[in-house]
């Protein structure tokens, strides 16, 4: 097994200039600083193992400094007294700056995360800009209500007047995973800032570079110092310190379900508000009346896009037995045709997974599945000079209780199961601890909408998968999380409702 990876260099002078700095300090208030301990961590290109630069290995004392900077900004006039329109203008300016720097940000994301350049350039970085643009408008739409009451309080000439205010929750800790770093960061920052909160951002230790570059763009856009602080370092050190921190009012976490549980437990100390965007094991149901060419292409994209490192990846395929062989062979043919390579190579369709550790984890799932009786009709191998490439893999002959069917693998690995009826497809789809997303492929609209109602899932796609928009809420039921991101209601995640009741 071998895969030659050319040591490609970025084309953008701005990317080269960023990388030439080598040390990338973190943002506290208006200062770019090292960790208090002086420790650094390496940013590594997962395709080659090459070191791209260093960022601070922060600890609890750095989390303290970041929370203090956010608190000072939150209590200060510069942010509090800014009108919603002024905040919206800054958010809009951030979206413009992201677009101006789109090629640089896409290259940085590819080098740091491994993803094919086109994934960042045409999906995720524009998606990040779109989050700031959408929530720029929402900043002016934070509204309370006037409420007629039935309070029996009638001194002569007096009446009760009651209304609600929506006010920013305060200091937010935003903790982000490594699979789609910049857009997932934007999904937290944009609504939090629209609400008027101040933020401590903790990027994932495998992918901190685009967050640090975004920090520079936020200041360039006119965000007052301290409104966003970025503290880098290990999750079980900095992330855990933020989750437990008494000065943090709200945690917005995206990551794995086990870490989400740990964050929730730590947040109990001061009962901070918590939203959790967690793991998934999303089903794809294909009925025999579907447009099978579209279903095959859609099912393949649902699991292989971004090398399967997507929380809503369609990782369980349930196909009606009448068309099972045709669909599964079709997906396997797509898998065989995909070109693995360095993300900066324009021909690459599948990049490395984010790290050697993650590649070992994904590969172990495949090997364990095969040892337990599953069959890989395509893929199954681990390649590349750094051991980080996983061949797109389709497993059949799987059983519902196998780990590869029950657990989130977070790589380009699909498990396919034949079903004899729609009821069976629904029962198997809902037989999961997760409930993030699902898709159904059929030409029968009444089937589609009935299935959509019965799937236990935060999102259901009909004849499509992986359709995102800043206006569409996304999030999970069951152990896929609490709350929703994107969409108008996402601002409410960062607001407190205050009741004002007066005798006038």
Report the interface residues with ligand NAD, using CB under 6 A: 175-179, 184, 202, 204-205, 235-236, 239-240, 243, 254-256, 259, 262-263, 277-280, 311, 408, 410, 436, 476, 481
Q: Please state the separation of Cα 233 from the chain's center in Å.
A: 18
Q: How many residues does the chain have?
A: 504
Between residues 280 and 487, which has the closer beta carbon with respect to ligand NAD?
280
Helix (H, G, I), strand (E, B) or coil at 59: coil
Closest separation between CB of residue 118 and ligand NAD, Å? 19
CB 133 within 8 A of CB 95: yes
Q: How many helices (H) and strands (E) does the chain have?
A: 17, 22
The backbone region for 93, taken as left when phi is positive above 0, alpha when psi lies in -120 to 50, beta otherwise, is alpha
Between residues 66 and 176, which has the closer beta carbon with respect to ligand NAD?
176
Closest separation between CB of residue 182 and ligand NAD, Å? 12
Closest separation between CB of residue 103 and ligand NAD, Å? 24
Q: What is the largest CA-CA distance in the chain?
A: 89
CB 65 within 8 A of CB 36: yes
Between residues 108 and 311, which has the closer beta carbon with respect to ligand NAD?
311
- Sign of the alpha-carbon dihedral angle for 187, 33, 30, 221: negative
Between residues 232 and 442, which has the closer beta carbon with respect to ligand NAD?
232
Between residues 472 and 500, which has the closer beta carbon with respect to ligand NAD?
472
CA dist., res. 319 & res. 441, Å (int): 10
CA dist., res. 78 & res. 406, Å (int): 49
CA dist., res. 489 & res. 473, Å (int): 8
CA dist., res. 442 & res. 172, Å (int): 42
Closest separation between CB of residue 434 and ligand NAD, Å? 9
CB 58 within 8 A of CB 35: yes
String of DSSP letters for 189-216: HHHHHHHT-EEEEE--TT--HHHHHHHH
The backbone region for 263, taken as left when phi is positive above 0, alpha when psi lies in -120 to 50, beta otherwise, is alpha
Residues 6+ apart with CB under 8 A from 86: none
Between residues 259 and 335, which has the closer beta carbon with respect to ligand NAD?
259
Catalytic residue among 130, 277, 408, 485: 277
Between residues 127 and 418, which has the closer beta carbon with respect to ligand NAD?
127
Strands 314-320 and 26-28: unpaired
The reply to whether 277 belongs to the active site is yes
> What tokens appear for 9 in the block?
């260099």
CA dist., res. 408 & res. 362, Å (int): 10
Between residues 200 and 419, which has the closer beta carbon with respect to ligand NAD?
200
CA dist., res. 445 & res. 464, Å (int): 14
Closest separation between CB of residue 218 and ligand NAD, Å? 19
CA dist., res. 61 & res. 77, Å (int): 26
Closest separation between CB of residue 327 and ligand NAD, Å? 25
Closest separation between CB of residue 89 and ligand NAD, Å? 28
Between residues 138 and 480, which has the closer beta carbon with respect to ligand NAD?
480
Say what the alpha-carbon torsion angle 481, 483, 484, 488 is, to the nearest 10 degrees. 180
- Backbone torsions φ then ψ of 274, nearest 5 degrees: -140, 130
Closest separation between CB of residue 49 and ligand NAD, Å? 19
Closest separation between CB of residue 465 and ligand NAD, Å? 15
CB 266 within 8 A of CB 238: no
Catalytic residues: 277
């Amino acid at each position: 097994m071998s895969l030659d990876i050319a040591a490609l260099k970025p084309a953008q002078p701005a990317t080269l200039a960023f990388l030439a700095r080598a040390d990338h300090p973190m943002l506290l208030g208006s200062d770019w600083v090292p960790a208090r301990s002086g420790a650094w961590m390496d940013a590594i290109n997962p395709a080659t193992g090459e070191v791209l630069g260093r960022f601070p290995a922060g600890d609890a004392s750095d989390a303290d400094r970041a929370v203090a900077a956010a608190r000072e900004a939150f209590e200060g006039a510069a942010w509090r007294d800014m009108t919603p329109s002024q905040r919206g203008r800054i958010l809009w300016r951030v979206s413009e700056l992201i677009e101006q720097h789109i090629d640089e940000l896409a290259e940085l994301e590819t080098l740091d995360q491994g993803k094919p350049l086109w994934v960042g350039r045409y999906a995720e970085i524009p998606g990040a800009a779109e989050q700031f643009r959408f929530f720029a408008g929402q900043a002016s739409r934070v509204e309370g209500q006037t409420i007629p009451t039935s309070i029996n309080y009638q001194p002569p000439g007096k009446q009760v007047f009651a209304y609600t205010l929506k006010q920013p929750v305060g200091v937010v800790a935003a903790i982000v995973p490594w699979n789609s770093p910049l857009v997932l960061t934007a999904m937290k920052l944009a609504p939090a800032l629209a609400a008027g909160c101040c933020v401590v951002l903790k990027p994932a230790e495998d992918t901190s570079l685009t967050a640090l570059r975004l920090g520079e763009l936020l200041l360039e856009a006119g965000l007052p110092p301290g409104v966003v602080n970025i503290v880098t370092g290990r999750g079980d050190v900095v992330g855990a310190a933020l989750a437990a921190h008494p000065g943090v009012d709200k945690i917005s976490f995206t990551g794995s379900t086990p870490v989400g549980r740990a964050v929730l437990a730590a947040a109990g100390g001061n009962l901070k508000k918590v939203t959790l965007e967690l793991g998934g094991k999303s089903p794809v149901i294909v009925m025999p009346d579907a447009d099978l060419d579209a279903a095959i292409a859609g099912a393949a994209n649902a699991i292989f896009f971004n090398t399967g490192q997507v929380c809503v990846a369609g990782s369980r395929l349930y196909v009606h037995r009448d068309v099972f062989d045709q669909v599964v062979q079709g997906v396997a043919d797509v898998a065989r045709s995909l070109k693995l390579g360095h993300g900066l190579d324009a021909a690459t369709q599948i990049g490395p997974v984010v790290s050697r550790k993650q590649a070992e984890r994904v590969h172990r799932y495949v090997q364990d599945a095969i040892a337990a009786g599953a069959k890989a009709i395509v893929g199954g191998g681990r390649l590349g000079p750094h051991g980080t490439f996983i061949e797109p893999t389709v497993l059949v002959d799987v059983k519902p209780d196998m780990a590869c069917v029950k657990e989130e693998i977070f790589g380009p690995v699909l498990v396919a199961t034949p079903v004899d009826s729609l009821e069976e497809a629904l029962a198997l789809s809902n037989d999961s601890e997760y409930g993030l997303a699902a898709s159904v492929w059929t030409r029968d609209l009444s089937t589609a909408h009935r299935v959509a109602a019965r799937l236990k899932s935060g999102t259901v796609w009909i004849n499509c998968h992986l359709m995102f928009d800043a206006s569409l809420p996304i999030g999970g039921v069951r152990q896929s999380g609490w709350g929703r991101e994107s969409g108008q209601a996402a601002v409410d995640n960062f607001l407190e409702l205050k009741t004002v009741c007066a005798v006038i």
